[in-house]
Each structure stands twice: as structure tokens, then as C-alpha cells.
Chain A
Amino acid sequence: MRHGKARFVTGFLAIPVILYLYYVIWPFAQAAGYSFTDWGGYSDRPPGFVGLGNYSRLVKDELFQTAFWHNVFFLITVPLLTIALALFFAFLLNVGGRGNRAGVQGVWGSGLYKVIFFFPQVLSLVVIAVMWQQIYRGDGQGLINNLLIKLGIVDPQNPVTFTADPQPFLGIPAVLWWLLLIAIWGGVGFYMVLFSAAMQSIPKDIFEAALLDGAGPIHTFFRVTLPLLRDTVSVAWVYLGFIALDMYALVYVMTPSQGGPNHTSEIFASVLNFTAFSKGEFGYACAMGVALAVFALLLAAVQLRITRRERIEF
């Protein structure tokens, strides 16, 4: 019986696995191979083998390092802020309401809020970016500028330029903060729904017991809800990590000269794109891609390792 099952499973899996190997893994392997060459990308001129030359160049490449630190900024801020906000919303929507005879419940109208918060998730990232271009528009016709100018907060002669503003705020170019805002806005809804689902799977009696013991909402959240959501948060963290490592669509659509002004919003993907397609250095760009993949894998491994703990069964 056991033997027959294995054959059955293998039979079903063989074709997808072959397709996956050919269309996903094989290109990855090819890219890794090209990263050791000086292939230009537009011809089939036999590429010259340069060994680790591309990688040693990578270490010295100032632009790549700038991009690296910008990605690190997103890697820290995007998961942290998105998860914090999503948890806050999820908590309010599920257990944040006033405890009464009906037991633990969300705030009034939580069903509607859930739909509203989830809404950005149904839009593609490029649509979101185009929409935010209007919100961030750099003159009095922009949604935010218009409001701020009418309120007298912003000088009409000097409107906020948002993603075209390289001036540092807390040491980070303003353009990155404005991009961060969009990323969080776009991500929060999905994780709110994810955390809501996880919270609903926590038995109500645990919350009610806490309530009876006199725990306020803040205590309940930190002592009960958060520890029980540990696994879900950990998964969310990994997912948000790869969103932070990408960010390409936002940078591409929103920033001047795709990575500007003057390289202040360069990220891995924008440098890689410029290197491969504008400079025609595919070999070097492949090295960047491989470095990014290795970095991402290490990060995921470390992340999952750190958050691994004893599970609580319920």
C-alpha cells in the first residue's frame, strides 16, 4: 500500500517537477553560469570566462553598495511597520472592542473596515504606483499638496516634491520614506486579514479568561495575542522581506530617472536593470542577481532560525 502510494504521488509530480526544473531551476543555473562571464546579452558571441571577476567588482561597486543599503532600509522598515500596523488593525477588528456580555469582539463596523483595508491588495503594484503619482503630484494639483496648500501648511511656491526629494530625513533620503509609505499602505490589508484569521483560530475562552483576570486591551495584546501569533508573524516577516528586497515597480514608476534623483532611490533591481539593459553587461548583472539570491536565502534561513520556538497547542 505504502509502495503504491509513492508511485501514485511520483506519477503526478513528475511532469510539474520537470517543468519546474526546466523553466525555473535551469534558468537560475544558467544565470549563475553567466555570472562568471562577460556576456553582453544581445548577441551569441561566445562569452569570455572571467572567473570571480564580476563578484570582486561587485564588492567595490559604489552604486551597488548604495543600492544595498537602500534595500536594507526597506528590509528593516517594511516588515516592521507593516506587521505592527497590521497587528494593530487585526487586534482592533477582532478583540479590540469593548468586552461585554456577548464576550470578546472587534470594534464597531469591523466587517467594513476589513474590506477597506484589504482593498489595495486587489490592485497591481503598477496601478498602485500610478495612482500614487496623482496623490504625490509635485504641484498644487496633487492630492496631498492641494490639501496642504489650502490649509496653509505648504507654500504654493515651494510644494512638496515627494519621490523627487533627495533631502535626508533621519539620515535617509526623503524619497525612500515616501516610497515606504506606499509599500506599507499596499501591504497592510493583506497581513491584517492574515492575522485576523490567525486570531480567530485562538479560542475565545483564552481572551475571556484574560478579561476576567482584569487584563486591559494592551496587556491582552502583548501577553496573549502576540505570543499565540508568533508563527504567523514569522511567516509574514519572511514574505515582507522579499517585498522589501524587490520594490522595483515603485522605484521604476515613481522616481525620476528610475532610481533618482541622483541615485538616492537606487535599489538592487534598478542597478541590475541598468547594468544589464542600459550598459549591456549581462554577465555582471547576473552576478548581481546571484548575490541577491544568496543574500535573500541567507536572510530567510536566519529569520526562520531565530523565530523557531516551542509551539503552543490549542
Chain B
Amino acid sequence: MSNSPDTPSDLSRRNVLRAAAAAGLMAVPAAGALAGCASSTPSSSTAGGAKGADNPFGVADSSTVNVVVFDGGLGTEYAEKDKGIFTTKHGKVTVNLGKTQKIKTEEQPKFSTTPSDLINNSGADAMSTDVLVNENAILDLTDLLDAPTWEGSGTVRDSLLPGTVNDGTYNGKFYTLKYAYTVWGMWYDAALFEQKGWQAPKTFDDFFALAPKIQAAGMAPFVVDNKHGYYPRWHILATIWKSAGKQAAIDIDNLKPNAWKADGVLAAVSAIEKIVKDKLILPGFFDHTQSQQAHLDHKAAFIQLGTWYKNEMAKTLPANFKLTLSDYWSVSSADKAPNDVFAGAGEDWVVPAKAPNAAGAKEFLRAMLSVEGAGQFASLTDSLSSRKGSGDKVSDETLASANTLMKNAPKDLISWRFPDYYADFDKESQNQSEELMAGRLTAQGFIDKMQAMADKIAADSSVKKQTRSS
């Protein structure tokens, strides 16, 4: 057989396969990665319209606003309602509502050219806010805060729940509107507890005293989602805050030397370690919905997560299950902030710096923050909106338990920033939280690893540092 490559007869099946294999080997694993880096040319932006009291950003008539909403636990129906509210004032403006779970996959490639105007940056595939801020890829939304509310009374800033402005502020500028107001804590079935005569614990000691009774009833006291490290991390960080206090948390966020060694941090992590060591966790390995379903099936008495729980599990929530939220447990009488509640605005909405219709995007946010929009959100999702009073007209018991928790909360809210500030720290803290909950890491080991990571980032001059003062 001839080995000369230019005789057509040599184009046999094997040679073709072979050449294709070589090309494929290079292309397949690398193609997505390489092509993802490619850029293209930007397009122009939409001209502005006349500004006025009812149109503070000057949305141009007959312009188009492209809104992308995250199709997750909160659903997308509320955004449809907001679109309706928006068009009552701007009937000539077209709103295109895109729905996806792949925010980063679909939106990032468009960022440097023609991005969507308004993006609900949420979910497992969200874009890192610190990266967006550092790259100047999103707009400062301070003018939204200073604009009049949709109803025209007062400013948007004054109509927001505490923490909303602060949590959306990076380097002194307001970049992200966090629209859903989430309260985190320990969930239990109040009907079951009443029937059994159990009291929802307020402290870890209460919990450890109650645990044998729960186990005697054939349930595990606690269940954990250990597939997503940020789930157990909420628990750990909230407990650290209660135990060690706000200043310790600020020091940790600011990467102060030995911040993780502060009084109260070890006690907090040790309390959580004790849940693992005493085998109070439902055996097995669960992701979020599996652990939540186990809780709804009365396999475990407590689970910790935020107020999207009910909406996420609405389809399988048993009718007689009185889903009730209680505060995270405090560690001991030495706790510095035992009553602080872990709550805050989440569900980021950002406007890309190159958004063709930024005015339209801001106006859409203003419509979302209207009394009607926020009220619709609360009744559709059983979650609070970051607009004050969104839950006033909702008669849901679960939402009421969250409302009660908020009403009794002190002014300070538990809020951690380091996972948003530093992607490496985010990853490491998730990984080590999983290790702690799997019983492969001690409380002391957890703290040592966190301190080591903080020191590493602090010493790395290539990482842009961020700080918080409050």
C-alpha cells in the first residue's frame, strides 16, 4: 500500500478517522475553553429620551429593554408582573424578558460587546460581583437610589429595608440592587413540635438537650446539604457572628492578622463540630433539595437555610406541615451578639456598563421596587422584597414567622463579605465547611485553614483588597 498522502485513494476510512481523531483530540477539550476567550466588536447604545418626574432616567420611547431573570427558586412570574407595571407608564417601550438558569454562561460572553440591559445575577451560575466591580463591568446605580419611588413619594433609598444599600455597595458605590429580602435560620415543623411537646431551641445547649428526644421519636435532629459548601457555611458564619460579635466578623472580612483566632470563633465552630461528632445529622450525603425533602418527610427535625425554602419545595410541602423559621442558635452566655439575625437582601440585579438601554434598565428596577411590584413579589414567592412593607398584605404563616424574627431583630444584621470579596477564599471556605460537616476536619483545623487562607490572600499583592467599616 502506498504511503503517499496525495493520492486520492489513500483517503481510506482509517486515515480519515485517524486525522479526525488527531484534530478532535486537540479541539474537543480545548475548544470551549479557548473559544470562550475570544472577543468581538461592540455595538452602539440607544439614545436617551426626555427626563421628567415620571421618567427620571429619560427612557426613550420605542426603545427596547432586555431583561434577564434567573429562573430559580423564586420563579419568574414576578418579573412578568413587573413588566406589566413598567408598561403602564411606558407603553411604547418594549420589554424583552429572558429567563435562564445559566446567567454566567449566557451573559458573560456578551459583556464586553452588547450585554443585556438588566441581569438578575443569581444562582449557581452567577457572575462574581467582585470581578464585575473590579473590571468596571457594571454601572453605579446611585442615581436609582436618589430617584423618586414609582409612586412619587420619597426616594427609592428611603423605601428600602435596612442592609439593602450597604450590601449592594462596593468601594463606596452602589452597584447591585439586591431585590429579595432573605432571612436565614433554623426551620422546623411547628405542628409536629406542638404535638410532641418540643420547644424550638434558642441555644446550642437547648438543642443538645432536645436531640435525644428527637432521636427517640425516630428522627435525626438535623440534616445538612453538603454538596454545596455555602449551605453549611451560612450556619458556621452565622454562629461565629453570634458568638464572636460584629467586630470580629469585620476583622475577618478585612483580613486582619489572627482575626480567626478571636474570642468566640473557636467556641462557635466547636458547637457545630459537636453536632457532627455526636452523630446528630441524618446519615447520608444530600444536595439541597434532597436534604430539604428529608426534612419535609420528617426524617430530620431541623434544617438551616433561607426563606426561599417554602417556595422551592412548594410542590412537595405536606399540607399539615407548619413550616416555621426560628433564629440560629446562640452558643453560650458569653455570646457577644446572641440576638443578631442573619438576614439581608439577596438576588442581585446588575446593569452592565455597556448596557445599550441603561435608562430603561434602571426604570425597570424602579418599577420592581414599586409598592405593587414588591407586593406581587411577596405574594407570588412567599419571600420578602427589599422594599419596605412588601409582606404586609401576605397572610402566609411561614412568611409571618420570618416577619416576627425580623421585628425582634436588633439593628445589626449578620452579614459577611469575604466570600464576595475573594473568589479563592469563597472556594476554600466552602470546601472546608464541607469537610467540617463530613467529620473529616476539626473545629481547630477549620479555623487554622481559614486563617492560613486569609494570610495568603493578605500577602498576595496581585489581589485587589476590599474593606468594610460597618
Q: Answer yes or no: A292 CB below 8 A from chain B CBs.
A: yes
Q: Which residues of A contact B134 (CB under 8 A)?
A: 40, 280
Judge whether A278 and B29 touch: CB under 8 Å.
no
- Check B38 against A31 for contact (C-beta < 8 Å): yes
Stretch in B186-194, B364-372, B424-432 touching the partner: B424-432
From B14, B34, B285, A164 is in contact (CB under 8 Å) with B285
Binary contact readout A148-171 vs B (1 if CB under 8 angstroms, 0 otherwise):
000000001111011010100000
Q: Known contacts A27-B38, A311-B1; is A159 also within 8 Å of B353 by CB?
A: no
Q: How far is the CB of A125 from chain B (nearest CB, A)?
A: 12
> Quick one: CB contact mask for B8-33 with A, threshold 8 Å, 1 for yes?
00000010011001101111111101
- Total interface residues in chain A, CB < 8 Å: 70
Asked if residues A42 and B229 are in contact (CB atoms below 8 Å), the reply is: no
Check if B382 is an interface residue, CB within 8 A of chain A. no
Complex alpha-carbon distance, A23 and B53, angstroms: 48
A residues less than 8 Å from B131 (CB atoms) = 40-42, 278-280
For B41, give the chain A residue with the smallest CB separation. A44
B127 close to chain A: CB less than 8 A: yes
- Distance to closest chain A CB from B336 (angstroms): 30
Given A159-B284, A260-B229, A260-B431; A286-B26 close (CB under 8 Å): no
Contact B108 A42 (CB under 8 A): yes
| Cβ < 8 Å to A, chain B residues 227-253 | 227-229
Task: Select B25's contact among A31, A145, A242, beta carbons within 8 Å.
Answer: A242
CA distance A3 to B21 in the complex (A): 31
User: Chain A residue with minimal CB distance to B39?
Assistant: A30
Q: In angstroms, how far is the closest chain B Cβ from the Cβ of A255? A: 8
Smallest CB gap from A166: residue in B: B440
> Contacts A43-B135, A300-B22; is A313 near B33 (CB within 8 Å)?
no
Residues of A within 8 Å of B39, CB to CB, are 30, 44
Closest to A290 in B: B34
A282 pairs with B427, CB closer than 8 A: no
Nearest CB of chain B from residue A173's CB, rounded to whole Å:
12
Indicate if B35 sits at the interface (CB-CB under 8 A): yes
Task: Indicate if the CB atoms of A31 and B431 lie closer than 8 Å.
Answer: no
Q: A235 with B128: in contact, given A31-B34, A43-B112 (CB under 8 Å)?
A: no
CA distance A276 to B24 in the complex (A): 23
**A164–B25 Cα gap in the complex (Å)?**
29
With a CB–CB cut-off of 8 A, which chain B residues contact A113?
A: none
Q: How far is the CA of A231 from the CA of B226 in the complex (A)?
A: 46
Evaluate contact between A257 and B427: CB separation under 8 angstroms: yes
Is A195 located at the chain interface by the 8 A CB criterion? no
Query: Residue B283 at the A interface, CB < 8 A?
Result: yes
Given contacts A40-B135, A137-B290, contact A31 B35 (CB under 8 A): yes
Is A241's CB under 8 angstroms from B25's CB?
Answer: yes
B contact residues vs A (CB 8 Å cutoff): 1, 14, 17-18, 21-22, 24-31, 33-39, 42, 104, 108, 111-112, 127-128, 130-132, 134-137, 226-229, 279, 282-286, 290, 294, 353, 423-424, 426-427, 430-432, 434-435, 438, 440
Chain A interface residues (CB < 8 Å from chain B):
24, 26-28, 30-32, 34, 39-45, 137-140, 145, 156-159, 161-162, 164, 166, 231-232, 234-235, 238-239, 241-242, 245-246, 248, 256-257, 260-263, 268-269, 272, 274, 276-280, 282, 285-286, 288-290, 292-293, 296-297, 299-301, 304, 311, 313
Q: Which 4 A/B pairs are nearest by Cβ-Cβ distance? A: A138-B285, A139-B284, A280-B131, A27-B38
